[in-house]
Amino acid sequence: MGIGRLTLAVSVTLASTLACAATTGGGVVPPAGGAPGGTVASHAPNTSTAGAAGIGDPDFPHDGNGGYDVRHYGLKLAYDPAAKHLNGVALIDATASQGLSRFNLDLSGLKVDTVKVDGTPARFSRSGTELTVSPETLIKDKAPFQVEVRYGGEPKPMRDSGNLGLYGFIPTADGAFVTCEPNGAKTWFPANDHPADKASFDFSITVPQGVTALANGEMTAKPQTADGKTTWTWREKHPMVTYLATMTLGKFDLREGKTASGIPNFAAVDPKYRASLDRVYRLSGEITDYWSTVFGPYPFSSTGGVVDDYAAGYALENQTKPIYGGFDPDQDIIAHELAHQWFGDSLSISRWKDLWLNEGFATYAEWLWSEHTGRGTVDSIFKRHYAAKSDPMWKYPPGKARADDLFNNSVYTRGAMTLQALRQRIGDEAFFRLLRTWADQHKYGNVTTDEFVTLAEKISGKQLDGLFDAWLYQPRRPESW
């Protein structure tokens, strides 16, 4: 998520509350195993094999779900901006990681019409943001299975308790602004809504003629118009976390081409920002190419950016299409969001506490871009922040992002300072080799801080526990490291 020149001190309250179990035709289906108060459904074929209602992140116990791994989402969506109504069919291909008598998906609001598992109707119930599915027959451990969910209604965005405001599916006058970090994907499709479970995506989005539908990846065919409606199809073939998925809709001016190195480049701006189209297109290409020389080859098949006329006050690194909400992005924030394509998108955190691995790295990339363009060295930026002895970030250790203040400035700035302190300790050659190796070894995977520390020590040949402890885990300004 972008900070740039914006001030963003966000307090995020993420954990959804599970209400009482809903009743379906098959009897009472309580929240799946692992949820507070969960009990065993009498109709379950094997009472020991209910998938957990959370993926296992202790700070966000109800985000995501256990018992399976999603491989692919196929989303067929139709949205009417005038009526603010969404119809959807989600085909979810998954693999069981245990025997499953039932399992959960995350879904906020929206009415579920039918659920099928491997083509057979399944019983289901709703409780809070949990959709609990009970298949007709037990899903065996390690078996692939497909879930079809037909649903619809008026998507409602989520609101945190801090300055982030609305996120998820946000209706706009001409469409929708869709930015889902940290857990807003559930506002428009059923999902395993946690970054620990990545999957590929196909999107088919039907909107009124004249409305553009943007999603991740690349278009698989030219938009098709019939009976006053246009269908746009997109595919993100690389693994992606759910909060990076988008179906941003509206009137946009578009520019397509390639970067100097040959990477497809796609820029879209609301007509209000028409004068910025060429600049966003050019900078997105130049910065993507530059990061490819610093961090290693670009991990995806296209790059670019989207500027929408919705006053979000923030940007988000939607995979392949960073989005800027209601402002003309400067070069630093574009550099930040595109650095996320490596750190946050290709390499994704396993648990939210390690968010500095996303935001600290992207903020450090801003400083590298500043130095590259001759506007201030990384060292001078580091020293300016270090001199601010009364800054609140010194009381917030960024190595464990707090659930109630996830996007605190410390996660960004002190996280970036951690990298500069590391660079000073191990030297430029080892430091930049570390960044490239980190991006390459974990490409398309999930990462933890412990893994980064281990790799840093291996590459540098130095013992670095004291440095990382001082910068990431102590509630005070490091005096030495």
Q: Which residue has the higher pLDDT, 234 or 161?
A: 234
The pLDDT > 70 percentage for the chain reads 90
Return d(Cα 193, Cα 175) in angstroms, integer. Answer: 23
Helix (H, G, I), strand (E, B) or coil at 248: strand
Q: Domains in the chain, ordered, with CATH?
A: 22-250 (2.60.40.1730), 348-473 (1.10.390.10)
> pLDDT tens across 75-127, in order?
999 999 999 999 999 999 999 999 999 999 999 999 999 999 999 999 999 99
Cis before 182 (ω within 30):
yes
Give the strand order in the sheet containing 253-258: 253-258, 264-269, 303-308, 323-325, 315-316
Structure tokens at 415: 């996280």
> Residue 275: pLDDT above 80?
yes
Mean per-residue pLDDT of the chain:
91
**If 0-12 CB within 10 Å is exposed, 13-18 middle and 19+ buried, where does residue 406 land?**
buried
pLDDT at 28: 26
Other beta carbons within 10 angstroms of residue 226's beta carbon come to 9
Helix (H, G, I), strand (E, B) or coil at 163: coil
Structure tokens at 323: 């989005």
pLDDT at 6: 42
Place of tokens 């363009």: 373
pLDDT band at 1 (very low <50, low <70, confident <90, very high): confident
**By mean pLDDT, which of 53-62, 155-164, 420-429 is the weakest?**
155-164
> Residue 13: pLDDT above 70?
no
Decide if 96 contacts 139 (C-beta within 8 A). yes
- Report, as an integer, the average pLDDT of 202-220: 98
For 125, the enclosing helix (H) or strand (E) is strand 123-127
How do beta strands 103-106 and 85-96 pair? Answer: unpaired
> Residue 20: pLDDT above 60?
no
Q: Which residue from 349, 400, 108, 139 is spatially nearest to 244, judged by alpha carbons?
A: 349
Helix, strand, coil percent content, the chain, rounded in steps of 5: 25, 30, 45
Place of tokens 């900078």: 283
pLDDT band at 39 (very low <50, low <70, confident <90, very high): very low
Helix (H, G, I), strand (E, B) or coil at 187: helix
Decide if 19 contacts 36 (C-beta within 8 A). no
Other beta carbons within 10 angstroms of residue 111's beta carbon come to 11
411 residue type, one letter: V
pLDDT at 350: 98
Q: How far apart are the first and last CA of the chain?
A: 28
95 residue type, one letter: T
110 residue type, one letter: L
pLDDT at 392: 98
> pLDDT tens across 371-392, in order?
999 999 999 999 999 999 999 9
> Residue 325: pLDDT above 60?
yes
Q: How many CA atoms lie within 13 A of 281 on its CB side?
A: 18
Q: Which residue from 480, 455, 458 is spatially nearest to 469, judged by alpha carbons?
A: 480
- Report, as an integer, the average pLDDT of 48-74: 94
Beta-ladder partners of 204: 76, 233
pLDDT at 481: 78
Decide if 196 contacts 64 (C-beta within 8 A). yes
> Residue 19: pLDDT above 80?
no
